[in-house]
């Protein structure tokens, strides 16, 4: 099965640096000195943000550990720009220059730094360790990408650890070298990059207040545009208006706008039961301090029981959003806003691929009579946070602890680096979830590293995770214990982060035949791609798609009625395969010769026209259809 890697740049993301004031600009002109800033090149999507307090401490620790100094970070504005990677990967921007990339190694559970040319220039005159002094006279021609020979090295560290970065002092040049293993097994240094540009940090040390002042005109324009948009829509509706407040920075900025546009709007907070305790306290205290009417909507408290049935939620299997968030919210809105409502949300296009197409106004097809407004949809994280401080508000204290996003503390969409950080910040919560994950892994005969390295956060793993699994001999297929009973358990609703309808289900049937047989038979329903190493089959139909896993888990995305039909057809097909008696009635009834019965049903996808005649005389298919209708009657009441 082919996994399509996505890259996206959701909008125009520009950042400038005023070198007079030594601070970042959200537009080209500085509001303090009126000078023009220099453009800072950002890798997409460009959702640049302020470095947190604990993030700064982490950077200092790593710089001292690798190069023996970090004083240049003190009292300076540091920005982080999230870029593509398996887990955390941030460009570190200091004084308008990209000095390093901070990333998290899931195999070791540690953060690491990759130096950039500006970082090497910065460290060349101040590093106390991790430095290689080169003979300038032996360095000739194009150097980038070349290996340093013994005669070119005047002095180097006694031990060279593979993968580590070293600072190269090369006369008038400064460079970054990476320790690599050569074909003969020896370790040597390969030149990663070089620069002639000297980097001396500015003596100007602006504060956060200075950054806000320098960007005040931009913040005013952002606010005016958002308020105009909100007031324009709300003036044309008679529906009541509320604001969804999760306790995160984006919903806080939207709440601030809402209070200015519609004073007195009610605040909705879905307490899923999986929120950080700091978040629950923050939401309650904030609403109390600002005299806001808060509706705290309680989510289900059976999450850990559901884990036993569905397995842990994953980025591509987020059943938890339906049970703990969308379901309770839908029930609340139906009871309190029977004629409908308008909800202001803090969703942004930079957050994910699914949200990159958010519109200003959307109607929620799966939460009856709800219209959503997204006034900050095209704001960047830096704009959001500066707007919050500009309005003299304090964000959730968890941001100081280097959490990039504030949501459920065990959310699979969070980074593995954040979950690893929880071992120190929230040891009891970390232990509770780890214990549950390990129990599930043991039941499904999975390697402990499947949990420790964060493989549990996907059902269909991205290519890099598959590469890591293969290199370390980690099995990615869950192998559940055998069972003789037949059971179908389902959660359904709006797909998380999007407007599609989705169903997540777990199908329990006797395991009489391998999953490859099931995958082959699913060709009767649509075009199938089968990945044996993942134990997964993707079924594409004209109106939707589904992914079935060897451990019985199933997820479907399609229009509501089609999703329900597809669930029933997949359930019936799996039962037909596993309960097949070998009577060959189906084989004889297919005039195209598309179906053959050996140990079980085998379907030739090129010959099958999906007419369904093979099921008409099959006893097992008849019984499977009856079971499917019975489960549907109890599931979709």
Instruction: Please state, in angstroms and rounded to a whole number, the distance separating the CA atoms of residues 198 and 114.
Output: 19
* Cα–Cα dist 273/504, whole Å: 20
Question: Could you tell me which of 90, 59, 64, 101 has the C-alpha nearest to residue 76?
Answer: 59
Provide the CA 341 distance to its chain's centre, in angstroms. Answer: 29
pTM for the whole thing?
0.82
Is the pLDDT reported for residue 135 higher than 90? no
pLDDT for 582 equals 76
Tokens of 279: 């978040």
Spell out a b/e string for 456-487, using b for 16 or more CB atoms within 10 Å of the CB, else e. Answer: bbbbbbeeebbebbeeeebebbbebeeeeebe
Q: Domain 215-413 in CATH: superfamily?
A: HUPs (3.40.50.620)
Taking the mean position of all CA atoms in its chain, how far away is CA 133? 41
| Mean pLDDT to the nearest integer, 260-279 | 95
CA distances in angstroms from 18 to 95, 218, 221, 276, listed in the order given: 9, 14, 19, 38
Sign, Cα dihedral of 257, 259, 261, 262: positive
pLDDT for the residue numbered 499: 47
CA-CA distance, 87 to 528, in Å (whole number)?
30
Say if residue 550's pLDDT is above 70: yes
Q: What is the 3-state secondary structure (H, E, C) of 353-382?
A: CCCCCCCCEEEECCCCCEEEECCCCCCCHH
Q: What percent of the chain has pLDDT over 90?
A: 54
From residue 260, give the alpha-carbon distance in Å to each of 230, 242, 255, 385, 391.
Answer: 10, 13, 9, 18, 11
Q: How many helices (H) and strands (E) does the chain have?
A: 18, 27
pLDDT (0 to 100) of residue 5? 40
According to CATH, where is 3.40.50.620 located in the chain? 215-413
Average of per-residue pLDDT across 199-209: 95
Average pLDDT over every residue of 595-620: 82
Q: Residue 4's pLDDT is what? A: 36
CA distance 219 to 241: 24
pLDDT at 632 over 50: yes
Q: Distance between CA 513 and CA 212 in Å, rounded?
A: 64
Contact 30, 211 (CB under 8 A): no
| pLDDT-derived band at 481, boundaries 50, 70, 90 | low
% of residues, the chain, pLDDT over 70: 93
How many other CB atoms sit within 10 Å of the CB of residue 345?
Answer: 21
What's the confidence (pLDDT) of residue 533? 66
- Give the fold, CATH level 3, of 487-635: TATA-Binding Protein (3.30.310)
Question: Model confidence at 309, in pLDDT bands (50, 70, 90)?
Answer: confident
CA distance 52 to 342: 34
Cβ atoms of residues 287 and 279 within 8 Å: no
Cα–Cα separations (whole angstroms), residue 621 to 485, 601, 627: 17, 12, 10
Per-residue b/e over 556-565, b at no fewer than 16 CB within 10 Å?
Answer: bbbebebbbb
Smallest Cα–Cα separation from 480: which of 344, 309, 635? 309
In this predicted model, which residue has the larger pLDDT, 636 or 289? 289
Q: What is the mean pLDDT of residues 179-201?
A: 86
Residue 170 vs residue 50, higher pLDDT: 50
Query: What does the pLDDT average to over 129-151?
Result: 85
How far CA 188 is from CA of 52, 149, 219, in Å, comes to 36, 8, 50
What's the mean pLDDT in 197-211? 93
Chain segment 372-426, per-residue pLDDT in tens:
999 999 999 999 999 999 999 999 999 999 999 889 999 999 999 999 999 999 9
What does the pLDDT look like over 175-185, one tens digit per residue? 999 998 887 77
Q: How far apart are the first and last CA of the chain?
A: 35
pLDDT at 364 over 60: yes
Has residue 221 got a pLDDT over 50?
yes
Cβ burial 74-106 (10 Å sphere, 16+ → b, else e): eebbbbbbbbeebbbbbbbbbbbbbbbbbbbbb
Sheet holding 536-540, edge to edge: 487-494, 501-508, 553-557, 545-549, 536-540, 527-531
Q: What is the pLDDT of residue 493?
A: 63
List 595's β-bridge partners, or say none: 603
Q: What is the mean pLDDT of the chain?
A: 88
Give 57's pLDDT tier (boundaries 50, 70, 90).
very high
**For residue 3, what pLDDT is reported?**
34
Distance CA 390, CA 376 (A): 16
From 267-271, 310-314, 597-601, the region with the lowest mean pLDDT: 597-601
* Strand, coil or helix: 253: helix
Residue range(s) occupied by CATH 3.30.310.10 in the chain: 487-635
Q: What pLDDT digit, counting tens, does each position of 482-522 carry?
A: 555 788 888 766 554 454 678 888 888 887 788 888 888 99
- List the single range of 4-18, 102-116, 519-533, 567-581 with lowest mean pLDDT: 4-18
Q: What is the mean pLDDT of residues 115-130?
A: 94
Residue bearing the bigger pLDDT, 5 or 626: 626
Confidence band, pLDDT 50/70/90 cuts, at residue 6: very low
Which comes out higher in pLDDT, residue 593 or 94?
Answer: 94
Say if residue 254's pLDDT is above 70: yes
Q: How confident is the model at residue 7 (pLDDT cuts 50, 70, 90)?
A: very low
The answer to whether 520 and 506 are in contact (CB under 8 A) is no
Give the per-residue pLDDT at 483: 53
Taking the CA atoms of the chain, what radius of gyration do you get in angstroms? Answer: 28
Tens digits of residue pLDDT in 326-350: 778 888 998 999 999 999 999 998 7
């Amino acid at each position: 099965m082919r996994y399509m890697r996505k890259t996206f740049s959701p909008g125009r993301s520009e950042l400038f640096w005023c070198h007079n004031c030594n601070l970042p600009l959200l537009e080209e002109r500085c509001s303090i000195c009126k000078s023009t800033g220099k453009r800072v090149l950002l890798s997409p999507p460009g959702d640049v943000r302020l470095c947190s307090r604990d993030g700064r401490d982490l950077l200092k620790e790593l710089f001292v550990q690798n190069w023996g100094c970090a004083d240049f970070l003190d009292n300076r504005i540091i920005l982080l720009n999230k870029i593509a990677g398996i887990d955390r990967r941030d460009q570190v921007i200091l004084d308008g220059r990209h000095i390093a990339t901070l990333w998290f190694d899931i195999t070791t559970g540690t953060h690491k730094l990759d130096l950039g040319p500006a970082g090497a220039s910065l460290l060349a005159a101040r590093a106390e360790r991790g430095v290689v002094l080169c003979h300038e006279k032996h360095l000739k021609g194009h150097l980038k990408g070349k290996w340093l020979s013994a005669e070119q090295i005047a002095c180097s560290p006694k031990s060279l650890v593979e993968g580590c970065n070293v600072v190269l002092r090369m006369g008038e040049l400064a460079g970054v070298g990476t320790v690599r293993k050569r074909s003969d097994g020896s370790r040597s240094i390969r030149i990663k990059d070089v620069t002639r540009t000297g980097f001396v940090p500015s003596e100007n040390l602006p504060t956060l207040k200075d950054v806000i002042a320098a960007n005040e005109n931009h913040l005013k324009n952002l606010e005016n545009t958002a308020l105009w948009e909100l007031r324009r829509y709300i003036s044309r509706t008679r529906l009541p208006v509320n604001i969804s407040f999760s306790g995160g920075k984006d919903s806080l900025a939207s709440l601030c706008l809402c209070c200015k546009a519609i004073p007195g709007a009610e605040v909705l907070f879905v307490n899923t039961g999986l929120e950080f305790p700091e978040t629950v306290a923050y939401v309650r205290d904030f609403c109390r301090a600002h005299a806001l009417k808060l509706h705290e909507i309680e989510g289900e408290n059976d999450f850990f029981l559901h884990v036993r049935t569905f397995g842990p939620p994953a980025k591509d299997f987020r059943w938890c959003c339906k049970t703990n968030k969308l379901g309770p919210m839908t029930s609340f809105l139906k009871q309190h806003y029977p004629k409908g409502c308008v909800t202001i949300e803090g969703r942004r296009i930079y957050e994910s691929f699914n949200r990159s197409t958010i519109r200003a106004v959307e109607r929620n097809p799966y939460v009856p009579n709800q219209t959503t407004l997204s006034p900050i949809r095209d704001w960047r994280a830096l704009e959001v946070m500066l707007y919050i401080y500009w309005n003299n508000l304090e964000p959730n204290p968890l941001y100081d602890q280097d959490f990039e996003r504030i949501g459920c503390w065990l959310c699979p969409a969070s980074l593995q680096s954040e979950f690893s950080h929880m071992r120190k910040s929230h040891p009891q919560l970390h232990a509770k979830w780890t214990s549950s994950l390990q129990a599930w892994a043991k039941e499904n005969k999975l390697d402990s590293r499947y949990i420790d390295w964060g493989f549990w956060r996907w059902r269909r793993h991205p290519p890099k995770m598959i590469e890591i699994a293969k290199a370390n001999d980690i099995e990615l297929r869950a192998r559940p214990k055998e069972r003789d009973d037949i059971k179908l358990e389902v959660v359904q609703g709006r797909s998380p982060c999007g407007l599609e309808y989705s169903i997540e289900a777990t199908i329990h049937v006797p395991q009489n035949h391998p999953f490859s047989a099931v995958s082959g038979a699913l060709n009767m329903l649509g075009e199938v791609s089968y990945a044996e190493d993942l134990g997964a089959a993707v079924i594409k139909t004209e109106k939707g798609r589904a992914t079935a896993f060897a451990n019985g888990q199933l997820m479907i995305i399609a229009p509501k009625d089609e999703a329900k039909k597809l669930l029933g057809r997949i359930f019936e097909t799996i039962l037909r395969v596993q309960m097949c008696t070998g009577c060959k009635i189906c084989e004889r009834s297919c005039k195209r010769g598309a179906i053959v019965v050996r140990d079980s049903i085998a379907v030739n996808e090129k010959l099958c026209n999906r007419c369904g005649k093979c099921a008409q005389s099959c006893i097992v298919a008849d019984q499977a259809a009856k079971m499917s209708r019975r489960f549907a009657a109890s599931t979709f009441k």
